[in-house]
Structure 1
Amino acid sequence: MKKALVLGGGIGGSQAAIALRREGYNVTLVSNRPYIYAYPISIWIPTGEISPEDVRIPLDEFSKSWNIEFIQDEVVRIEPETGKVHLKEKGEIGGYDYIVLALGQVKRKEKGIENTLSICGTPEEAIKIRERLQELIKKGEGRIAFGFGGNPKDKTAVRGGPVFELLFNVDYYLRKLGIRERSELTFFAPMPKPGERLGEKALKMLDELFRKYNINKITGKKIKEFKENGVLFEDDTFLEADLILYTPAGWGHPVIAESGLPTNEAGFVKIDETCRVEGFENIYAVGDCAAIEGPPWTAKQGHLAEVMGEIVAHNIAVREGRKKGELKSYKEHINILCLMDMGWRGGGLAYRSDKRAMLIPIPVLGHIMKKLWGVYFKLYKLGRIPKII
């Protein structure tokens, strides 16, 4: 039985491991965390609606369910020419027929970024956001700034949706506690029209929500520096804040950058449309670490990372003659699909493709739908129910 090594235990990496196992490969998964972290539902950790444990899917249970070898360790070096991988604790491993890169991305470095917290950062940051939010609640007032940044070298690496979700959930939470009128919430972003990849209708709906919930907005100003007490913009105007919740754009993983693999200007590994790394027959990449090519509105999302994981396994099996069929392309699956949660008020179903762009309000039920998705995701990853979406 041929062996495949998957580096990274996130949404895309775990799906690649599952799909490769189903195709009959002996799979080893390496992750620096002992769990899969369900980022889409981590937005409720700061408001206490769920606990950090609810967001974690233990990789030891995952590996037993799918008969996958799991190694908890950190990847420190990849030798693409020899197929060897070096881990921090275990050292050198090799002898794999295929390697799948699913290492994710790192934060784009910005001046003073240490003064911010991100809902898309480490799992520990979500807990820290909750703690800082509780401090403001005890005071009975506070100024909170919510924002996300861009990456001019790769516009697919922007994380805007989770920031909007966190903003609306915190707004709802503070209203429920009766202190929203003494709290100042401000959204900021360097681009003139943040969220425009969802389409003009979605932009108008977001503006209406900002007005309805009395949320300030500062857009089109580049960020000069983050300070302990606020955000300094390029025109030297200053947004005062007691808490800055900011998600920077992504940048390529340093291990990939140092490996000699082909990368784009932002450090993401170059792949062809079958997810195979350019110039290498047996190395593939999925999710955030890969350079995705598509329409101007293309965004990296969890569902695309999962699809890429499935495509990798399918294409490897087809190329080996294990199964019949045509090679598949990830480009056929590029779209934006998310349920933008707003707390128990509901949510908005956002969708974007070449043919359509929409944001449909779903009062109350939208929140329940996302809750149910979280349950489904966990059960599926543990092999307890079949994949349905």
Structure 2
Amino acid sequence: MKKIVVLGGGIAGIESAIFLRKYNFDVELISDRDYFYIYPISIWIPTKEKNFEDVIIPIKDLASAHGFKFTQDKVLKVDDDSFTLEKSGRRDDFDYLVVALGQSKLKHKGIEYTYSICANPEETLKYSEKLDELIKKGKGKLAFGFGGNPKAKEAVRGGPVFELLFNVDYYLRKLKIRDNFELTFFAPMPKPGERLGENALKMMDMMFKKLNIKSYTGKKITEFTPDGVVLEDGTKIESDLTCFIAAGDGHPAIKSGNLPQTEAGFVIVEPTNQVKDVENVYAVGDSCALEGPEWKAKQGHLAEVMARNTAYNIALKEGLEKGNPKTYIDHINILCLMDMGNGGGLAYRDDKRAMLIPLPIVGHWMKKCWGVYYKLSKLGKIPRLPGM
């Protein structure tokens, strides 16, 4: 039985382990966290609709449900023939290696004065605590923003910022204190969210005006301070609490290794997710560079497609499948159910169309239901829907 090691316990890593086990491979998953964190539903932690336990699945439970081995350790380096762990040192005991370590974040000056909801989960918990403190005071200034990476334009996380912004706005309105808070959005690109198309941009602008949310776009971020955000033209956005999602950057373990990588530190892969010129190593999810149209973006559903394809392609090499290798290229699209607390919108874009469908009230509950489905289906307690 072939031994396959999966590095990373995020969306791509967990999906890789689950689907590799369907071919009865000997699978070991290595992660520095002992839980799988479901980022898409963590937006509700600050607004008290979810707590930490609601948005995690212990990896030991997933390992038990699907039959893979779990090792908790931190990956320090990944080479084309081995990897190095913090506790266990260098290892090369695998027939295939799947790199699913995700990405790190660009380091802006003063980033320590901000909180991200797409980084270490502890930051979301700290943000929630700080928001509680301001709510107890009864007033405050809140800033929400995200950044870009010129070396990897697809490594941007904007959707969660919009979701948190709208959810916090609705939360404050429910508490009847919204008028005492100033909410501001900021981003360095002139048209943040343009990947979703012109209709999405118009709707976002309309929502900002309707909800009295200030907006600063098209100006680079100079630095963050304890009381705000400084932009390149000297403008300072005053803020008592800043949520900021920095653009993605290559993972340190990849940057320190010898896998072929882009200038930003993302692994270069073939459309089959096999690492370029490395026969038995694959990279999936945020760890790898993407080919595709200018508007392409790294998203969870694409990471899962890559993971499933990788399992199939390895099985194909081992004679357990028949047919042609599968690629992620045909699956590049943007799909996002954007929650707003009291509703939502379904955003979709591919090469042929871009649309945003408003879903008042029902959109919020659709995402809530998806969160329940996602946890139960990952644990194998309910059947998975085709393509999900």
The 1-side partners of 2:56 and 2:70 are apart by 16
State the one-letter code of the partner of 1:285: A
- 1:316-331 aligned at under 5 Å gives the runs 316-331=314-329
- 1:225-374 aligned at under 5 Å gives the runs 225-343=223-341, 345-374=342-371
Which SS does the other structure have where 1:131 is aligned?
A: helix
Quote the offset at 1:387 in angstroms: 1.8
Contact 2:77 2:252 survives alignment (8 Å): no
Quote the offset at 1:320 in angstroms: 2.3
316-325 vs 185-194, greater mean Cα deviation:
316-325
Quote the offset at 1:94 in angstroms: 2.6
State the one-letter code of the partner of 1:52: F
Task: Choose from 363, 381, 385 the match for 2:382.
Answer: 385
**RMSD (Å), alpha carbons:** 0.8
- 1:1-389 aligned at under 5 Å gives the runs 1-80=1-80, 83-343=81-341, 345-388=342-385, 389=388
The 2-side partners of 1:69 and 1:168 are apart by 40
The 2-side partners of 1:142 and 1:325 are apart by 59
316-325 vs 327-336, greater mean Cα deviation:
316-325
Deviations 1:216-268 (A, max 9, x none): 00000000010110011101111111011100000000110111111111110
State the one-letter code of the partner of 1:240: E
Structure 1 gap ranges (5+): none
The 1-side partners of 2:383 and 2:220 are apart by 45
Quote the offset at 1:293 in angstroms: 1.1
Deviations 1:127-165 (A, max 9, x none): 011100011101100000000000111111000000000
State the one-letter code of the partner of 1:286: V
The 2-side partners of 1:172 and 1:18 are apart by 37
The 1-side partners of 2:140 and 2:177 are apart by 9
The 2-side partners of 1:268 and 1:98 are apart by 19
The 1-side partners of 2:97 and 2:127 are apart by 36
Count of residue pairs brought into register by the alignment = 386
The 2-side partners of 1:244 and 1:381 are apart by 33
Quote the offset at 1:38 in angstroms: 0.2
Contact 2:76 2:252 survives alignment (8 Å): no
Quote the offset at 1:318 in angstroms: 1.3
Which SS does the other structure have where 1:153 is aligned?
A: coil
Contact 2:249 2:266 survives alignment (8 Å): yes
The 1-side partners of 2:139 and 2:337 are apart by 30
State the one-letter code of the partner of 2:138: G
Structure 2 length-normalised TM: 0.98
Quote the offset at 1:299 in angstroms: 0.5
Quote the offset at 1:322 in angstroms: 1.5
State the one-letter code of the partner of 1:38: I
The 2-side partners of 1:77 and 1:236 are apart by 40
Structure 2 gap ranges (5+): none
Which SS does the other structure have where 1:348 is aligned?
A: strand
Which SS does the other structure have where 1:305 is aligned?
A: helix
State the one-letter code of the partner of 1:17: A
State the one-letter code of the partner of 2:344: G
Quote the offset at 1:61 in angstroms: 0.5
Which SS does the other structure have where 1:114 is aligned?
A: helix
The 2-side partners of 1:285 and 1:61 are apart by 24
Quote the offset at 1:321 in angstroms: 1.9
The 2-side partners of 1:85 and 1:152 are apart by 29
The 1-side partners of 2:176 and 2:170 are apart by 10
Structure 1 length-normalised TM: 0.98
